[in-house]
Structure formats: C-alpha cells, structure tokens
Amino acid sequence: MLIFDAHLDLAMNAMEWNRDLTRPLEEIRLREAGQTDKPDRGRGTVCFPEMRRAGIGLCVATQIARYVKPSNPLPGWNSVPQAWAQTQAQLAWYRAMEEAGELTAIGDRAALRRHVELWRDPSPQTPIGYVLSLEGADSVITPAYVERSFAQGLRALGPAHYGLGRYAQGTDATGGLGPRGRELLSEMQRLGVILDATHLCDDSFWEALSVFQGPVWASHHNCRALVPHNRQLSDEMIRALVDRGAVIGMVFDGWMMLPGWIRGETTPAGAGLTLERIIDHADHICQIAGNANHLGIGSDLDGAYGTEQTPVDVQGIHDLTRLPDLFRKRGYKQADIENIMSGNFLRFLARHLP
C-alpha cells in the first residue's frame, strides 16, 4: 500500500546530524555508536532504503533553521542571513539527492500524477517523491523571499516552530502574527503556498486562519483532548481545519501520544507505548470530522528523536506498515485505510499544487 508521510526532516538529518540517508539503517546507527551530542544517536529510524521497503513513495520534506535572539535559550542561528543560508544548504542536499536518483521533487500536479503512476510498480531504485516545505519562517529574510523560495520549489510553509518567531508565535508561546506575519501570509496566498498550521500557538493559529484564505493543512499533530498540551490540536481547532478542507497528519513522537511523558526519563517500554495509542488520536480526529477524509500520516520520525521516544513497535519507519491492520481492528474499511495512508494528502495536493 502506498504511504504518504507529510512530515520528515530529511535535510536536517543529513546536514546537521550528518546522516547519510542513502545507507541502511543499521549502518547509520553503527556509525553513530558512542556519539552523545544528540539524544537519538544510534537510535534513528529513517533512511531511504527503509522508506522504500515500507512503500513510502512520497513525503513532505522540510527545510528548517531557527533564528535566535541572544535572550532565546532555544538552539538556532545567531542571524537571519545565517538561518537563510542553512536552508539553502539543505536545498542543495535535496538537489544532490535528485541528481543521485534518490529523490524526485514534486512541484506541480503533473509531477504528482507521474510519480504516483511510477509507484504503482516500484523497483528498489525508484526515487522517493518529495514536496518541499519550510518548518518555521524565521529564515525568510523578508516576505518577498517567499517568491524566491516558491521558485526553488517550496510548496508549504509553517510560519512558526517552537517559541517566539519573527512572523508568528509557536509551541509554548503566546501572541498573534503582527503586520510582518500577515504580510507573509498574504504572499503565501498570492503564490498558492500551503499554510501548515502545525506549531502555531493558539493566538497565531486563529489569526492565521482568519486572514489566510488559501489551502491549509496540519502536517504533524495529535489531539489535545488525549494529551493536554498546547502543541496539540484542540477539538475546536480540529473542527476549524476540517471546515477548511485540511488534512491532519498523525505524529509518532511519544510525548505527543501519551499523557504524562517526561522527555529524557519516560521510556516507551516503561510506559507501555504502542501504535495502538496513535489509533486513539486518529479515531478522535475521525469522530470529530464524521469521516476519515481529513486524516493522514505526518510521522516526524526523524524530528530530533529516535527509538527512545517511539512506540515499542516502531523500530524503524518501515513499521508504519503496521497501521492498516490496526485500523482494520478498529472497524475501518479498506477505502478509508487507503485514504489515511496516502489518499487524503494526495487528493489535497492534486487540488492545490500548481
């Protein structure tokens, strides 16, 4: 079954984690043996061979680089031009992967149709299609740069990440967009760039939906009703996204799946975390929507964590293939399962890509 993953930080892993994603997963882990600079060293779950083995023929792949003021404790770049340059390095890696035959950029409807057809009968060398997205807009030097990024292939943009941002406020922050954020959204709407509502704090979320009339999705989100935290979507937010025709991607980070998780202390085995828990979040979204047409996968399985924070039955991204059987056990029909695994996001893109 074809799988579409709406959120992977591939270039961040390649350029900042220094992972060669063309290599087998065990080889990547072995090369990181003994390293301690990142909490997920030796525990990564994503590489191109595992994606192909799973049937993940398409994904949304990110650029990401945060600008931080001297008072900001979060990791990031000390100037906006440095952050912009980092996203350009990430773009250069994507281009190198295209030239190597590992990836194919999906920038318009025609490319999407061709690629889906190619994956009807893939080979072990079939390239993985990717839609380029920017997670957090801090690196956008001015709103006018959105047009430059669009020309480079950018098709989705999330204005905020964690904390206070230059264009919107993100997870654990409060506040709205401000004039610069509204100008950014105006440029996105003019160009047809998808608004990714993920990570927007409540104030910025509602303001963004009120001023932006273009296509919206939430690439990687779970439910606040099941795990109370501002990083999650409230039921009201889910209803608003459904009303806008959005698709919401399930995210597989343990602390967003199970309440009471303490990062760095709680373990998947100790908490009894399995993929059954993500089905709870998925079903909550489907019950609010009244159907399975607004749910997809946005795994974020390479989002600066590894098996120390995944369900015990997710040891690699290939384990997303376990999901169809879990949905069947909950009574989901085959057509709904296929929509969740890829169909909903594919139809969204078929409507909204150039």
Q: Which CATH superfamily is domain 3-352 in?
A: Metal-dependent hydrolases (3.20.20.140)
H-run or E-run covering 282? helix 276-289
DSSP classification of residue 86: H
DSSP states of 144-183 as a string?
A: THHHHHHHTTEEEEES--BSB-SSSB-BT-----HHHHHH
The C-alpha atoms of residue 315 and residue 271 are separated, in whole angstroms, by: 16
C-beta of residue 211 within 8 angstroms of C-beta of residue 177: yes
The C-alpha atoms of residue 241 and residue 235 are separated, in whole angstroms, by: 10
The closest of 133, 206, 198, 209 to 171, measured between CA atoms, is 198
What's the pLDDT score for residue 190? Answer: 98
Count Cβ neighbours within 10 Å for each residue of 247-273 and write b for 16 or more, e otherwise: bbbbbbbbbbbbeebeeeebebeebeb
C-beta of residue 225 within 8 angstroms of C-beta of residue 194: no
Degrees to nearest 5, angle at CA 136 with 131 and 141: 100
The domain limits of the chain are 3-352
The C-alpha atoms of residue 339 and residue 337 are separated, in whole angstroms, by: 5
Tokens of 121: 């009968």
The C-alpha atoms of residue 6 and residue 300 are separated, in whole angstroms, by: 8
The C-alpha atoms of residue 121 and residue 271 are separated, in whole angstroms, by: 39
The C-alpha atoms of residue 209 and residue 100 are separated, in whole angstroms, by: 39
Backbone angles phi and psi of 60, in degrees to 5: -100, 120
Q: pLDDT digits over 256-269, tens only?
A: 999 999 988 999 99
Average pLDDT over residues 116-135: 97
pLDDT confidence bin for 51, thresholds 50/70/90: very high
The C-alpha atoms of residue 130 and residue 120 are separated, in whole angstroms, by: 17
How far the first Cα of the chain sits from its last, in Å, is 26
Q: pLDDT digits over 99-118, tens only?
A: 999 999 999 999 999 999 99
Average pLDDT over residues 262-291: 97
Q: Is the pTM of this model over 0.95?
A: yes
What's the pLDDT score for residue 152? Answer: 98
pLDDT confidence bin for 176, thresholds 50/70/90: very high
The closest of 87, 124, 132, 140 to 105, measured between CA atoms, is 132
Q: pLDDT digits over 295-353, tens only?
A: 999 999 999 999 999 999 999 999 999 999 999 999 999 999 999 999 999 999 999 99
pLDDT confidence bin for 44, thresholds 50/70/90: very high
What's the pLDDT score for residue 113? Answer: 98
Average pLDDT over residues 119-147: 97
Chain centroid to Cα 240, Å, comes to 20
pLDDT confidence bin for 282, thresholds 50/70/90: very high
What's the pLDDT score for residue 179? Answer: 96
The C-alpha atoms of residue 30 and residue 76 are separated, in whole angstroms, by: 27
What's the pLDDT score for residue 301? Answer: 98
What's the pLDDT score for residue 89? Answer: 98
